[in-house]
Amino acid sequence: MKIRSVSLGIIRKEDHILFEVIRFPGISTTFYRPIGGTIEFGENSKQTLIREIREEINQEIEELQLISVIENIFGVLDDRGHEIDFIYDVNLKDKTFYDLEEVDGLEGDQAYKAQWKPLHFFESNSDVKLVPDGLLDLLSQRDNNHISVIKHVKTN
């Protein structure tokens, strides 16, 4: 089992949030995750998010606000993981970016699409999953002005 720290950005457009679309061969579920990535040695979570959003979607961010930390133990196929996820609300400096329907992203050398989705999309669709686990509950609570500081989540 690998352990890593991750920094993820909640980029909002009205009632929608920008999510990376992740598909695994042989799995019918489509996964959605906020833009971000692994904290590198010597970086703090804020620096990581600035770097990751710049690298993945070629955008600069402003007004970063840490809203929660989620501890997540998960498994997909034979890949088990343990993450500490720093969740930030962020705004993009380039406001024209919010007009895009879909966003091209790059995770390492793998291209991906990012899409704007409302939270209710994940509540009513069994073929999709918002990750990390606990994020949907956290964002739903945040919309009701109830912020959880640390959320411990373990899935089988």
Q: Model confidence over 104-121: pLDDT tens digits?
A: 999 989 999 999 999 999
pLDDT of 61-106, one tens digit each?
A: 998 999 999 998 877 656 678 899 999 999 999 999 999 999 999 9
Residues shown for the chain: 156
**For position 147, what pLDDT does the model report?**
44
CB 101, CB 114: distance < 8 Å: no
- Contact yes or no for 49/39 (Cβ under 8 A): no
Averaged pLDDT, 16-41: 95
- Domain that residue 109 falls in: 2-154
The answer to whether the bond into 132 is cis (omega within 30° of 0) is yes
Identify the band that residue 153 occupies on the pLDDT scale cut at 50, 70 and 90: low
Residue 145 has pLDDT above 90, yes or no: no
Name the pLDDT band for 148 (thresholds 50, 70, 90).
very low
Mean pLDDT of the chain: 88
Task: Count how many domains the chain has.
Answer: 1
Domain CATH number, residue 38: 3.90.79.10
Find the angle CA(103)-CA(105)-CA(111) to the nearest 5 degrees. Answer: 125
The pTM of this model reads: 0.87
